[in-house]
Each structure stands twice: as C-alpha cells, then as structure tokens.
C-alpha cells in the first residue's frame, strides 16, 4: 500500500460505508458553515488527497491544546488520527521516545520535504540560550526552526504559539515569544485560545486537508471563519446587555436569571472567538452560559489586560428597553441608531486591534 493513499480510500478500506462518508462530509461542512456545496467539496477533496503528515511539537505550554484537540466530537479525533492526517510526531501521544522519536523528525523532513504540516503547541523561550525548554539536549527553539524549514505550512495552536500566553505575561522571565518571531518565512495559521475550541482545531485541520489550501486569514493570521466576530456579537445574553440588565454580584438574582455579565468583567465585547456560536465540548456550554464572564483567552496579551473582574471601561451600551420607556414612539429610531452605532464600534475596535498586532485590544 502506498503512502499516498487518499483519505477516502483509507476509510473505505476500513469499512466505512459510502453513506457514512457522505454524512461525515455534510457534518464537517456544516460545522464550518459551508453548507451543501461545501459538503460535496469536502467529499471530493477527501477522495482525492493523500493523508497529510503532521508533526506536532511542544514548547513551553501546559498541553491544554492537545487535551482540547482530543475532545473533538465532529470529526472524532480517532478518525482524524487514523484516517484524515498522519500524526507522525506528537510528544503527547506517540509510542516512540528518545532516539526513535527523534528519528521521525529527520525522516519526515527528508521524505515529505515541503509537504508536511508543522503544528506547534507552546512557544520557544529565548533567554538562557533557549535552555528554559530543552528538547533532545538542545534548545527547543533550534529544533522548531529546523522543522519549520521544510514544512508546507505552520499551525500555531493556542494562545502560547500565537501570542505568548501566560509564560509571556509580564515580566516574561524566560522571554517566551510567539512562534512567528522565530519562524518568519512560512505561512502561519494562528488558532488562538487557551485552549482553542476542539472543533475549531479539527475544523482548521480538516479545511486544509479538504480544500488543499489554507483558510482565509485575517490580518492577525487567524482563520476568519472562526475568529472574525466577537463573542459579544453572537452572545445569547446580548439582549440583556442591550436592555441594561446586568449581574451586579456573584449569585445575585440577575445571575440566577442569566443576565449579562458585562459588569463582572466579561471580555466578550472585545474577544474574537467562536465560543458563543460553536460553544464548547460539542456545544454543551461556554463560559458565559455557565455564569462566568469571558476572560478573553484568544486575545493577544489578555493576561496583562486584567484584573479579570474589572469591567471594560470603554464599551458603550444602549439600554434599548430603558430608552424605550423614556423615548416612547422614538424607540424604533433609537434601535436603528443603536444598530448603526454598534456596527461602528465593532469596526472601530477591529481597526484598533489591527493597528498593531502586539498591542492589547483597544479596551482600556
């Protein structure tokens, strides 16, 4: 059997029916918001593309990205690993260790030159000659750059690889840096979050293996399909925000009625992520639904934008219902203005975020 077998051939030989395959394609397409034509594209791609070798490296991190990845419900991570990609190196899951593990890196570089995906969880520290993170007796940063040289593309998993995350919070004692500071000549897809949502992670991987190209990225390098709107834009508690109905204290009556958490420090209004739509762990909930504000974990530098329970000071809120009482017949117009104003604020805050990809979101 050749190594360039297609995904479709593999799963057919593994006993998956054509019918199940089609259903899988539809679900995958639906999870990415691609609709019916998307499903046929998914099917076509999986029928004709080989399994892509993936090298998953770990720097300074906590392994929450790997843990999130294995939570994927659609597709199941079992199917991703057995049938969709070839996860040839992943410190967390691989059988081999030591020399046998290291040999895989060298082999992949040579055999799949320019054809493998490098997925990076965590980031390299630069202080102490890089020896705050040692891999095979050498600085992790060296090995990372070495594997990046021959990769087709690089995925930056999570806040660590994308922005630096907790070890890069002030004063960043190890000088941990996001991977785009040391890999400068390859396309890098940033999939931020601490961790990213499981189905967003598998969605990004599937997109690449399915369409044979990288997803559309925003100016910060994030897939725009998952990261182009704020949690606030799609939050089911948004009507309470607009109506001025807020939780004032933990476990108060408004908390028990599921009102807006903005006054408790919620970062939903400044955080670009899919939590309020895809939700977590196969759609069971997301932080706001379970009573705690968003801490903004997919945003650059979010650790230094705290304290987390301090309310965002420059978010305007419209009080649609209180205005309706006051303004009466003008309410309809007010809503119209509110919508326009809201769109403008969204646009402004996006511009502010884009102004400098190292600056914290323009909220404080």
Partner 1 sequence: MTVQTPNGFTLDNSGKRIVVDPVTRIEGHMRVEVNVDEQNVIRNAVSTGTMWRGIEVILRGRDPRDAWAFTERICGVCTGTHALTSVRAVEDALQIRIPENANSIRNIMQLTLQVHDHIVHFYHLHALDWVDVVSALSADPKATSALAQSLSPWPLSSPGYFRDLQGRLKKFVESGQLGPFKNGYWGSKAYRLPPEANLMAVAHYLEALDFQKEIVKIHTIFGGKNPHPNWLVGGVPCPINVDGIGGVGAINMERLNYVTEIIDRSIEFTNQVYLPDVAAIGSFYKDWLYGGGLSSQSVLAYGDIPEHANDYSAANLALPQGAIINGNLAEVFPVNLRDPLEIQEFVAHSWYKYPDETKGLHPWDGVTDPHYELGPNAKGTKTNIESLDEGAKYSWIKSPRWKGHAMEVGPLARWIVGYAQNKPEFKEPVDKLLKDLGLPTSALFSTLGRTAARALECQWAADKLKHFQDKLIATIKAGDSSTANVDKWEPKSWPSEVKGVGFTEAPRGALAHWIKIKDGRIDNYQAVVPTTWNGSPRDPNGNIGAFEASLMNTPMADPTQPLEILRTLHSFDPCLACSTHVMSPDGQEMAKVTVR
Contact positions with partner 1 (CB under 8 A) in 10-69: 10, 13-15, 51, 53, 58, 60-68
Q: Determine which residue in the list 210, 280, 360, 363 makes contact with partner 1, applying CB under 8 A.
A: 280
335-354 positions binding partner 1, by CB under 8 A: none
Do 288 and 261 form a contact (C-beta atoms < 8 A)? yes
CA-nearest of 57, 170, 69 to 123 is 57
Shortest gap between Cβ of 210 and partner 1 (angstroms)? 18
Q: Would you say 188 or 295 has its CB closer to partner 1?
A: 295
Interior CA angle at 45 toward 40 and 48, to 5°? Answer: 125
Beta strands in 136-257 (DSSP E): 138-139, 151-157, 188-191
Q: Which stretch binds partner 1 (CB under 8 A): 146-154, 214-222, 281-289, 339-347?
A: 281-289
Name the burial class of residue 79, with classes exposed (0-12), middle (13-18) and buried (19+) by CB atoms within 10 angstroms of its CB: middle
Q: Determine which residue in the list 25, 32, 45, 133 makes contact with partner 1, applying CB under 8 A.
A: 133
**CA dist list (Å): 232 to 237, 240, 247, 276, 293:** 8, 11, 16, 8, 11
Shortest gap between Cβ of 202 and partner 1 (angstroms)? 12
Shortest gap between Cβ of 68 and partner 1 (angstroms)? 6
CA-nearest of 37, 269, 3, 283 to 116 is 3
228-247 positions binding partner 1, by CB under 8 A: 237
In 158-251, where does DSSP find H-type helix?
158-162, 198-211, 224-227, 238-242
Q: Determine which residue in the list 33, 35, 136, 336 makes contact with partner 1, applying CB under 8 A.
A: 136
Q: Determine which residue in the list 36, 128, 326, 343 makes contact with partner 1, applying CB under 8 A.
A: 128
Name the burial class of residue 181, with classes exposed (0-12), middle (13-18) and buried (19+) by CB atoms within 10 angstroms of its CB: middle
Q: Would you say 34 or 77 has its CB closer to partner 1?
A: 77
Q: Would you say 63 or 322 has its CB closer to partner 1?
A: 63
Helix axis angle for 98-111 and 140-149, nearest 10°, is 30
Q: Determine which residue in the list 30, 40, 44, 70 makes contact with partner 1, applying CB under 8 A.
A: 70
Do 160 and 123 form a contact (C-beta atoms < 8 A)? yes
Q: Which stretch binds partner 1 (CB under 8 A): 123-131, 214-222, 318-326, 339-347?
A: 123-131
Contacts with partner 1, 171-210, as mask; x by CB under 8 A: xxxxxx-----------------xx--x------------
Phi, psi angles (nearest 5°) of residue 56 = -110, 110
299-338 positions binding partner 1, by CB under 8 A: 303, 306-309
| H/E stretch holding 55 | strand 52-58
Sheet holding 85-90, edge to edge: 85-90, 52-58, 116-121, 151-157, 188-191
Shortest gap between Cβ of 93 and partner 1 (angstroms)? 5
Distance CA 194, CA 192 (A): 7
Do 86 and 23 form a contact (C-beta atoms < 8 A)? no
Q: Which stretch binds partner 1 (CB under 8 A): 96-104, 148-156, 211-219, 332-340?
A: 96-104
Shortest gap between Cβ of 10 and partner 1 (angstroms)? 6
The site for partner 1, by CB under 8 A, has a size of 110
Q: Does 356 bind partner 1 (CB under 8 A)?
A: no
Q: Would you say 113 or 316 has its CB closer to partner 1?
A: 113
Q: Establish how many alpha carbons lie within 13 A of residue 254's alpha carbon, considering only the half-sphere containing its beta carbon.
A: 18
Q: Which stretch binds partner 1 (CB under 8 A): 8-16, 26-34, 183-191, 213-221?
A: 8-16
Q: Determine which residue in the list 110, 170, 313, 329 makes contact with partner 1, applying CB under 8 A.
A: 170
């Amino acid at each position: 059997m050749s190594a360039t077998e297609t995904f479709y051939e593999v799963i057919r030989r593994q006993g998956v029916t054509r019918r199940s395959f089609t259903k899988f394609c539809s679900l995958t397409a639906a999870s990415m918001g691609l609709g019916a034509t998307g499903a046929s594209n998914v099917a076509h791609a999986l029928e004709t593309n080989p399994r892509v070798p993936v090298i998953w490296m770990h720097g300074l991190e906590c392994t929450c990205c790997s843990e999130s990845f294995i939570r994927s419900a659609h597709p199941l991570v079992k199917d991703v690993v057995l049938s969709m990609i070839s996860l040839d190196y992943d410190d967390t899951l691989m059988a081999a260790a030591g020399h046998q593990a290291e040999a895989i890196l060298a082999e992949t570089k040579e055999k799949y030159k320019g054809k493998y995906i490098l997925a990076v969880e965590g980031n390299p520290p630069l202080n102490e000659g890089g020896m705050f993170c040692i891999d095979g007796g050498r600085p992790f940063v060296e090995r990372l750059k070495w594997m990046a040289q021959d990769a087709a593309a690089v995925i930056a998993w999570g806040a660590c690889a994308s922005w630096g995350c907790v070890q890069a919070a002030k004063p960043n004692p190890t000088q941990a840096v996001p991977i785009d500071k040391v890999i400068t000549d390859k396309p890098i897809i940033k999939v931020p979050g601490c961790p990213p949502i499981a189905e967003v992670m598998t969605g990004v991987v599937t997109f690449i293996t399915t369409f044979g190209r990288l997803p559309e990225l925003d100016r910060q390098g994030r897939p725009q399909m998952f990261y182009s709107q704020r949690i606030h834009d799609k939050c089911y508690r948004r009507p309470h925000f607009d109506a001025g109905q807020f939780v004032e204290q933990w476990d108060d009556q408004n908390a028990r009625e599921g009102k807006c958490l903005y006054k408790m420090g919620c970062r939903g209004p400044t955080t670009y992520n899919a939590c309020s739509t895809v939700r977590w762990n196969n759609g069971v909930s997301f932080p706001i639904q379970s009573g705690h504000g968003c801490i903004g974990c997919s945003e650059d530098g979010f650790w230094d934008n705290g304290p987390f329970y301090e309310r965002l000071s420059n978010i305007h809120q419209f009080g649609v219902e209180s205005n309706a009482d006051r303004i009466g017949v003008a309410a309809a117009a007010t809503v119209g203005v509110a919508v326009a104003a809201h769109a403008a604020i969204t646009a402004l805050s996006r511009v502010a975020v884009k102004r400098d990809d190292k600056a914290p979101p323009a909220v404080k």
